[in-house]
Structure 1
Amino acid sequence: MQWVKSFAAGALATLVFHQGLLALLYFLGVAPVAPYNWSATEPLGVPVVLSLAFWGGVWALPLWWLVRYKPTRLFWLVSLLFGAIAPTVVAMLLVFPLKGLPVSGATWAGGLLLNGAWGLGTALFMGPVFRCHPRTPVIPD
């Protein structure tokens, strides 16, 4: 059940924190891409924002695996660092080139900010909201 909660936490964090920060940056004129994009993605025609939420849920699974036994202070730090680094590296080195999108210092910075916000949001939904807090490993007798 923890894995399902983790997936849901990552998907919700995408919609609230990742897209919320993107909305703020967009309205401040910093980000050129509008948040909550409902245009279709290739090849399945799924709206971009729902595709992002799905992949946010998928990324939450390895995040939960990493933080599930961490003490509280490391739970938050690892969530922030994993969120900022792992999805950004994959996006910039794999996804963007496959889609023919330009990669620049600005896209790296934006990815680190948006995905870091996603990591913290996922931790918030995993922990206090869904009560999916890290726990002490159970060692069988």
Structure 2
Amino acid sequence: MRTMIVGFLAGALSVVVVHQGTVWLMALAGWVPAGIAWSTGPVPPLGVPFIVNAMFWGGLWGVALAVLLARTRAPVLLSGFLLGVFGAALVSLAVVAPLKGVRPSRAGISRASCAWPSSTAPSAGGRRSSSCRCCGRDGLRHPPPRDGLRPPTGQDSRMASTLGRAIVIGFAAAVLSVLIFHQGTIWGMRELGWINARPWNLATRVPPYGVPVLVNLCFWGGLYGIVIGVLLRMTRLPPLLTGFAVGACAALVGWTIVPMIKGGAMFAGGNANALLRGLLINGAFGWGTALILTTLSRRR
């Protein structure tokens, strides 16, 4: 209990100092809009101030990090960084943003002129002007809302529905990619004598729940497929390269976070051949997932 309390307090303090300080520096550099660091704007649905909301969730991630460090001998700073990248950042991208229907604009944050979309109507001089439906002021000069986000509109609902489909299809495509590309790569390496692992292994069970290895791989692969599906939907990154990069990130997690939890050697104990095999296997999985998603999108 003491570890959890200390972890929560450390996580909340890190949000106030390090997290928001980084946002402030990024605002100075022009990378993010000014005024969002240490913001007290309300966060729906409870109207909690943004900084308080961030401290709460940061505290929960701090608990996870504290428990991880208490049970393993993992490097402290590296563990915190990896948990932030592959934990909080991925959850925010793949789960929180789709649930809220938030779509980043080219400037980084989707903005609006008012609480409702601007409408265009002819003026007395025959010209068309943009006016706000809620207050009548010129929409082009209307100040943006404090939180910098548009309220839900019909377009937002369609975007949320599209992202929902991207999540479902991404998970399904990744499961299929595990069965074909991931396990197929393992089979090919086994035939070449590079590894001893058995492809499509349903006999070996994974603790603590005794799930077959193949089922376990399909589940975790599906989660990475969600990330690939959302990235391909929300960005214009090259699909196959993006898939391979996410697969490489999965390999990195297998080299770092998984050994931390299980008490094994990080980065395969420095075995270059094992690192290369892991990169090829997971890269093939991500590449295959992107290929399946791209093929399905073209057929639609």
TM over 0.5: yes
Using the aligned pairs only, state the percent identity.
33
Among 210, 227, 232, the alignment partner of 1:62 is 227
Question: In terms of Rg, which structure is larger?
Answer: 2
Give the secondary structure class of the aligned counterpart of 2:205. coil
Change over 3 Å in CA distance of 1:120–1:68 after alignment to 2: same
Q: Please state if 1:2 is matched with 2:139.
A: no
Superposed displacement of residue 101, structure 1: 4.6
Using the TM superposition, name which of 61-70 and 40-49 deviates more: 61-70
Which residue identity is paired with 1:67? L
Give the secondary structure class of the aligned counterpart of 1:51. helix
Q: Which runs of 4+ in 1 moved over 4 A?
A: none
Distance 1:116 1:106 in 2: 15
Distance 1:48 1:66 in 2: 27
Change over 3 Å in CA distance of 1:3–1:58 after alignment to 2: same
Change over 3 Å in CA distance of 1:37–1:96 after alignment to 2: farther
The answer on whether the counterparts of 2:170 and 2:227 sit within 8 Å (CA) in structure 1 is no
Give the secondary structure class of the aligned counterpart of 2:256. helix
Q: Please state if 1:112 is matched with 2:279.
A: yes
Superposed displacement of residue 131, structure 1: 2.5
Superposed displacement of residue 132, structure 1: 7.8
Give the secondary structure class of the aligned counterpart of 1:68. helix
Question: 1:6-17 residue pairs with structure 2 within 5 A?
Answer: 6-17=170-181
Structure 1's unaligned 5+ residue stretches are 134-141
Look up the match of 2:200. 36
The answer on whether the counterparts of 1:76 and 1:120 sit within 8 Å (CA) in structure 2 is yes
Distance 1:53 1:132 in 2: 24
Which residue identity is paired with 1:54? F
Distance 2:290 2:262 in 1: 29
The answer on whether the counterparts of 2:242 and 2:290 sit within 8 Å (CA) in structure 1 is no
Distance 1:101 1:29 in 2: 24
Look up the match of 1:139. none
Q: Please state if 1:131 is matched with 2:294.
A: no
Provide the aligned length of Structure 1 versus Structure 2.
130
Superposed displacement of residue 69, structure 1: 3.8
Distance 1:2 1:67 in 2: 9
Question: Once superposed, what is the RMSD of the aligned Cα atoms?
Answer: 1.9
Taking structure 2 as the reference length, what is the TM-score of the superposition? 0.41
Superposed displacement of residue 100, structure 1: 4.5
Look up the match of 1:25. 189
**CA displacement, residues 2-48 of structure 1 (integer Å, 9 cap, x when unaligned):** 21010000111011100001001011100121211211110111100
Change over 3 Å in CA distance of 1:115–1:132 after alignment to 2: farther
Give the secondary structure class of the aligned counterpart of 2:193. coil
Superposed displacement of residue 119, structure 1: 0.9
**CA displacement, residues 110-133 of structure 1 (integer Å, 9 cap, x when unaligned):** 1110011001110122121x3389
Change over 3 Å in CA distance of 1:89–1:79 after alignment to 2: same
Which residue identity is paired with 2:219? F
Name the structure with the higher helix share.
1
Superposed displacement of residue 67, structure 1: 2.0
Which residue identity is paired with 2:206? T
Look up the match of 1:138. none
Distance 2:223 2:240 in 1: 19
Using the TM superposition, name which of 101-110 and 33-42 deviates more: 101-110
Structure 2's unaligned 5+ residue stretches are 1-164
